[in-house]
Amino acid sequence: MSASSAIKRIGVLTGGGDCPGINAVIRAVVKTGLLDYGFEAVGILDGYEGLVKDRMVELGYEDVSGILTVGGTILGTSNTAHPFEYVEHGGQAEDARDVSDQCVTNFEKAGLDVLFCIGGDGTLSIAHQLAAKGLPVVGVPKTIDNDICGTDVTFGFDTAVQIVTEAIDRLHTTAMSHHRAMVIETMGRYAGWLALVGGMAGGGDIILIPEIPHHMEVVCEAVGGRSRRGKRFSLIVVAEGVKRPEGGYVLRGRVEESHEKIRLGGIGVWLANEVQERTGVVSRAVVLGHVQRGGSPTAFDRVLATRLGREAVVQAAEGRFDVMVGVQGRDIVPVPLADVAQKQRLVTADSQVLHAARSVGTCFGDE
């Protein structure tokens, strides 16, 4: 008996932050399962919260038609529901309990044979833990941060880069007109990919990323140097996970019931104030925030998401579980979740993208 013949019903959930292209993956998983293998599909609502609380819906062909271009996720998501450290809404960290057995029970109750988990490092780490409890899982890497190990790129990243680039383009004209330093704060958490690639595409003069400690003296000299060369404005792109030179993140708050309790944000305003005080150049900060995660996915992300969704079903049909489908070169290949869980893909010193940015004069605040 082939592996696919043992599969009758598949479940799919989306965890973590929303991201352009999630619906394209859901569409590809459901349609590939139905058309190529005759699988029934079930959508699990609000990420792992739905698996804990047994909130599921049947998904047929028509339910996933017309969602290729739609942002967000039709299933809903949660970035606080952690089955192994579960905290009820409004609870405190000390109230956390392990409800993973409840997830297994609800999985079996729904008659599911496979669980497809679409998400970032947190979602995929949980998927790996569930696999250790016997659930057949396949992961699909999703994040605008592009920080998942085992894949060259994640869907959603290209769309976010386009949004960052367009924002910088628009701020460029304002900076020129008013002779200001414009600070653009991007998302990305502890990885600098979004600020680096988006800043490079938008012609950022100074790009600060978490992987490269910066010095305010170097940043301010870059701003002053541009003024002396007749460039009476500067574009400074900074990732939300950049620390102040003296150490410590700038935070916008905490969410106690979340596994990732701190919420980054505010480094852009801090940086603008520092630049203006030290250089005398009028500086303004723009925090792009959640606009980077919304809207319709680019053509690249639509195609990538569709490929990833299809390949995830193929892995399950061929009997490979506890894996993620990752992009390596031009191919999509299975990657053991053990190689993905609790890890982050950061910008390294030998990155060709980083070298290219330095070669065209971009300042990273370190030299």
* Res 101: pLDDT: 96
Contacts of 57-63 with C-beta under 8 Å, sequence gap 24+, read: 59/12, 59/26, 59/30, 60/30, 60/34, 61/30, 61/31, 61/34, 63/30
Residues 40-53: tens digit of each pLDDT: 999 999 999 999 99
* Res 87: pLDDT: 86
In a domain, 354, yes or no: no
In a domain, 108, yes or no: yes
Residues 52-61: tens digit of each pLDDT: 999 999 999 9
Residues 179-206: tens digit of each pLDDT: 999 999 999 999 999 999 999 999 999 9
Query: Please, are residues 180 and 282 in contact by the beta-carbon 8 Å criterion?
Result: yes
| Whether residues 302 and 259 fall in one domain | no
| Whether residues 234 and 309 fall in one domain | no
Per-residue pLDDT at 260 exceeds 70: no
| Residue % of the chain over a pLDDT of 70 | 96
| Whether residues 39 and 135 fall in one domain | yes
* Tokens, residue 1: 């008996």
Residue 268: CB atoms within 10 Å = 26
In a domain, 352, yes or no: no
| Whether residues 82 and 190 fall in one domain | no
| Whether residues 78 and 167 fall in one domain | no
Please tell me which residue in 46, 145, 147, 322 is annotated as part of the active site: 145
* Res 200: pLDDT: 97
| Whether residues 150 and 22 fall in one domain | yes
Highest mean pLDDT among 222-231, 234-243, 247-256: 234-243
- How far is it, in rounded angstroms, from Cα 112 to Cα 329? 33
| Whether residues 48 and 129 fall in one domain | yes
Query: Please, are residues 286 and 186 in contact by the beta-carbon 8 Å criterion?
Result: no
Mapping DSSP to helix (H, G, I), strand (E, B) and coil, where does residue 365 land?
coil
| Whether residues 184 and 245 fall in one domain | yes
Query: Please, are residues 11 and 138 in contact by the beta-carbon 8 Å criterion?
Result: no
- 1 — pLDDT class (breaks 50, 70, 90): very low
Residue that is last in its domain, among 264, 293, 322: 293
Residue 224 belongs to domain with CATH number: 3.40.50.460
In a domain, 169, yes or no: yes
**DSSP class per residue in 11-44:** EEEE-SS--TTHHHHHHHHHHHHHHHH--EEEEE
- Residue range 252-267: average pLDDT? 70
| Whether residues 143 and 25 fall in one domain | yes
Q: Is 354 exposed, middle or buried (0-12, 13-18, 19+ CB in 10 A)?
A: buried
Strand pairing category for 114-119 and 137-141: parallel
| Whether residues 174 and 247 fall in one domain | yes
Number of domains, the chain: 2
In a domain, 350, yes or no: no
Residues 306-324: tens digit of each pLDDT: 999 999 999 999 999 999 9
In a domain, 28, yes or no: yes
| Whether residues 17 and 111 fall in one domain | yes
| Whether residues 286 and 309 fall in one domain | no
Residue that is last in its domain, among 293, 325, 356: 293
Q: For 313, list phi and psi in degrees, rounded to 5.
A: -65, -40
- How far is it, in rounded angstroms, from Cα 288 to Cα 111? 43
- Residue range 213-236: average pLDDT? 92
In a domain, 357, yes or no: no
Identify the domain containing residue 330 by its residue range.
4-155+297-339
Residue 266: CB atoms within 10 Å = 17
* Res 94: pLDDT: 76
Spell out the SS3 assignment of the chain.
Answer: CCCHHHCCEEEEEECCCCCCCHHHHHHHHHHHHHHHHCCEEEEECCCHHHHHHCCEEEECCHHHCCCCCCCCCCCCCCCCCCCCCECCCCCCHHHCECCHHHHHHHHHHCCCCEEEEEECHHHHHHHHHHHHCCCCEEEEEECCCCCCCCCCCCECHHHHHHHHHHHHHHHHHHHHHHCCEEEEEECCCCCCHHHHHHHHHCCCCEEECCCCCCCHHHHHHHHHHHHHCCCCCEEEEEECCCCCCCCCCCEEEECCCCCCCEEECCHHHHHHHHHHHHHCCCEEEEECHHHHHCCCCCHHHHHHHHHHHHHHHHHHHCCCCCEEEEEECCEEEEEEHHHCCCCCCCCCCCCHHHHHHHHCCCECCCC
Concerning whether 113 is annotated as a catalytic residue, the answer is no
Residue 27 belongs to domain with CATH number: 3.40.50.450
Mapping DSSP to helix (H, G, I), strand (E, B) and coil, where does residue 264 land?
strand
In a domain, 359, yes or no: no
* Tokens, residue 141: 């890497």
Helix (H) or strand (E) run with residue 142 in it: none
**pTM, whole model, 2 decimals?**
0.93
